[in-house]
Amino acid sequence: MSQESIYLDYAAATPLDSTVLEAMILYFSDVFYNPSAPYEGGRLARDALESARSEVAQVLGAKSTNVIFTAGATESIQIALVGLLKSGGYAVIGATEHAAVRGCVRDFPSRIALADNRGYITPESVRKVIQDDTVVVSIALADSEFGTVQPIADIAHMINLVRHDRREKGNKTPLYLHSDGSQATGSLELKTSRLGVDLLSLNASKCYGPKQVGVLWVRNGIVLEPLVSGGGQERGLRSGTENVAGAVGCAKAISMAQTMRYDENRRLQELRTYLLQQLEQIDGLVVDGHPKKHLPGHLHVHISGLDSERVIYRLDIDGVYIATGAACAANKGKRNPALEAVGMTPAEADGSLRISLGRSTTKQQLEIAARAIKRAIDLERGL
Amino acid sequence: MKRVFVGMSGGVDSSVTAALLVEQGFDVTGVYMKNWTQDLPGMRCPWADDLADAKRVAVQLGISLKVYDFQDQYRQKVVDYMLAEYQAGHTPNPDIMCNQEVKFKLFLDTALADGADMIATGHYARLENCDWCVEVGENRKKLLKAADEQKDQTYFLYRVTGEALGKTVFPLGEYTKSHVRKLAEERGLATAQKKDSQGICFVGSVGIHEFLQEFVETTPGNIVDKHTGKTLGRHDGAIYYTLGQRHGLDLGGGMPYYVVDKDMARNEVFVSRDLNDRSMWCSYLELEQIHWINQPAKEGESLRVRLRHRGALHPAIYSNGNLEMQEAERAVAVGQSAVLYLGDEVLGGGIVSGA
């Protein structure tokens, strides 16, 4: 990223925090040993891995034996969902779920819990599509397009009632709630007991940690069928020599973000409000997502009929980086289905912009960015 | 102000074409032609990236970019034609067909109906007014070789009509390729550093052999020494071989063998070690599907013929659909195009049907 550029796509990737990098560096070459090795070096690596696991467990308020490290949230989700569905049964997923979730259930019978026009998925909406043979429900803590925060605890409560109901009726099919916490890892509550989920997938790369490292938390007693067999590392769910540096970085990034989140969320929320004030002057601009329940630094807007891909290229020339879920090259020519799921027309969807703020975002940057966005939209409209 | 629709492929040539026309004061609209491509699983879809590049440049130039979907017609007119020709054992040229059927027919007609006065492409070729056309009140143009002999693309353009050229501009005809790159860099165009595309666009990175494998059914056959009649090896389909070819025969070491003939009916490929094998050389060409851009060549006129893109210009006499070349030429395959030049002007040409 060049000095002058203004990065506003933190929902896509975050820079590695320097403290996190510092914590990781030791484990690339000095303590490179295989954590399974029987000598001192192996023990050092093992200790680092296990203390990273404890660090994550502490954030989750869970037992560290239930925390496994993976190669990112996509893999966590895959291990969770496919691991449950392989032995049969239906899945329910939210209408705005990420491709990582949609891709998992493609080969399994599944139903979709509808979202309202704010991208909000109510427990009732989920309840409607749960059948007697549904084994897993997967709803993100917050979606990646609109940043709408879902009522996961309420959904968990509803699922408990369904379980109770099943027991009464003698239906022995288990029912689990999985949540993709990728977008929320840095900013939302992650205590599993408060969330009420049974499985939780997290990502280090969205909270200033390394890419290709993630976490899957699995509640006690849930048996998953492993997708990869091998040395049986990570409780047999993710064989392969552990990525100790990655795990250390992941744990550090998650715990740091969780420590910072009260202050940082407030700061991001203020910045978002400021940005919104600037952008609201644009004629025809509609703010998407939930007006209250949204990620603090996440702003999604659309202007019907605008070619958002062109706006993004124009901003690129000005050094302002933002995103879109529209049908464009970045999305392989396909729209994010989440846009249609909230009832957007193709013209609205292709005129949508996602602006996500992060730790390095300043008010001054937003002032410049807002001006550039307004100018880009004006120029596009002049054509 | 004249409205020009520029075919923008996302490459550097068409990007500069659009930029120059904007600077010259035309009312420019970019058009990305979505032609047929084969989507390969797991590969990053190439057309999406090209479209994005075209769009980036359009944004830089402040022009709009339309997408014309020509996939069905392209598949029919260009891809199916190429497959049929290969199947018949010929050596076709899909680029020539693309210009004839898609760029200077379908694109031109669509653009004109869409409000354009003219079209432009990034071809390296020049156009010149045609005196007699003006006299008879026709808006036709003559096709001339590009200033950059190394990049000249007129071989691919000989099946276009003078009428279509009358509504066309080739802004790059006077430039060299390196100059065009420089123009792109000076303007900071997003495509300035982009690599030139190689080979047939819809075949992409897989290569023609693998592409044909997927679409044309072939059976293995023998590779036979033309002089001894001895079977030297096996091939996986005679259609994969073209006259003069020496690679991919897999006949072991020693002096190289060349393909000198094919028998499609018996699925046999004949080879020889003799570079001077008579069957590889010919000085008399029969042409079919002859096309003239404006007017036919005169009987017995001394012309120059080009048998492949960027190939040499050989002196030849044209007479009633046939060409008598001053010197024999090696490896001229049926299906190849023979393009006729009079000075710098491309008169037209035909497809070799016998040599």
Average pLDDT of the residues in A131-157: 97
Residues A45 and A176 in one domain: yes
ipTM > 0.85, yes or no: no
pLDDT at B205: 65
The percentage of residues in chain A with a pLDDT greater than 70, rounded to a whole number, is 99
How confident is the model over A301-330, as pLDDT tens digits? 999 999 999 999 999 999 999 999 887 777
Domain count, chain A: 2
**Average pLDDT for chain B:** 90
Range of the domain at A229: 18-256
Same domain, B12 and B96: yes
Within an 8 Å CB–CB cutoff, is residue B59 touching chain A? Answer: yes
**Identified catalytic residue from B98, B130, B133, B282:** B98
Residue B40: what pLDDT?
61
* pLDDT band per the 50, 70, 90 thresholds, residue A1: very low
Partner A contacted by B40 (CB < 8 A): no
Strand duo B141-144 + B345-354: pairing:
antiparallel
**pLDDT at residue number B45:** 61
CA A16 to chain centroid: 17
Does any domain span residue A155? yes
Neighbours of B219 (CB within 10 A): 9
Q: Residue A47: is its pLDDT beyond 50?
A: yes
B110 falls within a domain: yes
Per-residue pLDDT, A215: 98
B56 in reach of chain A (CB within 8 A): yes
Q: What residue has token string 């029912």?
A: A175
* pLDDT band at B39; cut points 50, 70, 90: low
Residue B329 has pLDDT above 90, yes or no: no
3-state secondary structure of B34: strand
Residue B134 lies in a domain: no
Give me the phi and psi of B120, to 5 degrees please.
-140, 150
pTM here? 0.87
| pLDDT value, residue B43 | 56
Same domain for A236 and A291?
Answer: no
Residues A280 and A332 reside in one and the same domain: yes
Q: Find how far residue B226's CA is from the centre of its chain.
A: 32
B84: contact with A, CB 8 A cutoff: no
| pLDDT, averaged across chain A | 95
Tokens describing residue B27? 């009312």
Q: What is the CATH number of the domain that holds B317?
A: 2.40.30.10
Residue A144 and residue A92 in one domain: yes
- Say yes or no: B240 and B299 in one domain: no
Interface of A with B in 178-197 (CB under 8 A): none
Q: Does residue B127 fall inside a structural domain?
A: no
In contact, A244 and A27? CB cutoff 8 Å: yes
**Does residue B148 lie in a domain region?**
no
Select from B198, B308, B306, B305 the least CA-distant residue to B243. B308
- Return the pLDDT at B199: 67
Strands A90-94 and A67-70, how do they pair? unpaired
pLDDT tens per residue across span B95-107: 999 999 999 999 9
CATH of the domain at A272: 3.90.1150.10
Q: Please give the residue range of the domain that contains residue B257.
A: 218-272
C-alpha atoms less than 13 angstroms from C-alpha of A213 in its C-beta half-sphere:
29
B197 and B222: one domain? no
Amino acid sitting at position A181? G
Helix ranges (DSSP H) in B120-272: 131-135, 162-165, 177-186, 208-215
Q: What is the 8-class DSSP label of residue B332?
A: P
Residue B44 clears pLDDT 60, i.e. is over it: no
**Is A313 an interface residue toward B (CB < 8 Å)?**
yes
Q: Which has the higher per-residue pLDDT, B270 or A271? A: A271
Domain boundary among A235, A256, A277: A256
- Say if residue B38 is in the same domain as residue B91: yes
Q: Which residues of chain A are within 8 Å of residue B62 when distances are taken between CB atoms?
A: 379, 383
Buried b / exposed e over A253-277, threshold 16 CB at 10 Å, is: bbbbbbebbeebbebbbebbeebbe
Cβ-Cβ contacts under 8 Å, A383 against chain B: 62-64
B183 shares its domain with B44: yes
Q: Which residues of A touch B32 (CB under 8 A)?
A: none
C-alpha distances in angstroms, A252 versus A17, A74, B198, B303? 10, 20, 47, 77
Q: What confidence tens digit (pLDDT) does each residue in B142-177 have?
A: 999 999 999 999 999 999 999 999 999 999 999 999
Same domain, B118 and B47: yes
- A104 in catalytic set: no
pLDDT digits (tens, 9 = 90+) for B301-328: 899 999 999 999 999 999 988 999 998 8
Tell me, yes or no, whether B150 lies in a domain. no
For the stretch A196-234, pLDDT in tens is 999 999 999 999 999 999 999 999 999 999 998 899 999
The residue of A306, A308, A310, A311 whose CB has the most chain B CBs within 10 angstroms, and thus the best one to mutate to test that interface, is: A310
Q: Phi, psi (5° rounding) for residue A313?
A: -65, -40
- Closest to A314 in 3D by CA, of A373, A383, A370, A382: A373
Q: Do residues A141 and A154 lie in contact, with contact meaning Cβ atoms separated by under 8 Å?
A: no
How many domains in chain B? 3
Determine the Cα–Cα distance for residues A314 and A81; give it in Å rounded to an integer.
40
Q: Tell whether B325 is covered by a domain.
A: yes
Rg of chain A in Å (alpha carbons) = 21
Is A1 a domain residue? no
| For residue A335, pLDDT beyond 80 | yes
In a domain, A149, yes or no: yes
Residue A357 CB partners (closer than 8 Å, separation 6+): A8, A10, A268, A271, A272, A275, A297, A298, A299, A366
Q: What span, in angstroms and rounded, lies between the C-alpha atoms of A370 and A322?
A: 11
pLDDT tens digit sequence for B216-242: 888 899 999 988 889 989 998 888 888
In this structure, the answer to whether residues A179 and A283 fall within a common structural domain is no
